Amino acid sequence: MSAPAQTPAASSAAPDTSAPSSDEATPSASADAAEPAMITIKNFAYDVPATVAPGATIMVTDADGTSHTITADDGKAFDLPVPGGGSATFTAPMKPGSYPFHCTYHANMHGVLVVK
């Protein structure tokens, strides 16, 4: 009985007239506020957005088959283990600035998160 009740509710609760279609690109300012920022780890390197908003949710996706971390060099702002082939999220620092980071497992992996 629950499944039929959810199906009509889902179709009636999906008025797409006020929301942009998924095919349309959204402005980066809106994406920062509404969607998580994305960091991708691939080939033992970080692909980091140019900037993220203070307090933004950041999703880290590990496209490698081995585990990595995204650890702030100061050791305090963020320290996130990311399983090989998996993903994890963290919250960007509230204070604007540049936050250098590294992978604790692989000394050659470095990046900078710019909060602005």
User: What are the tens digits of pLDDT across the range 48-102?
Assistant: 999 999 999 999 999 999 999 999 999 899 999 999 999 999 999 999 999 999 9
Q: Is the pLDDT of residue 35 over 80?
A: no
The pLDDT assigned to 101 comes to: 98
Q: What is the pTM of this model?
A: 0.70
**Averaged pLDDT score across all residues of the chain:** 79
pLDDT tens column, 1-29 = 433 333 333 333 333 333 333 333 223 33
- Residues 36, 88: contact at Cβ < 8 Å? no
The pLDDT assigned to 17 comes to: 35
- CA–CA distance, 98 with 78 (Å, rounded to integer): 13
Comparing CA positions, the residue from 45, 41, 35, 52 lying closest to residue 97 is 52
Q: Which domains can be identified in the chain, with CATH numbers?
A: 28-115 (2.60.40.420)
Q: Is 23 exposed, middle or buried (0-12, 13-18, 19+ CB in 10 A)?
A: exposed
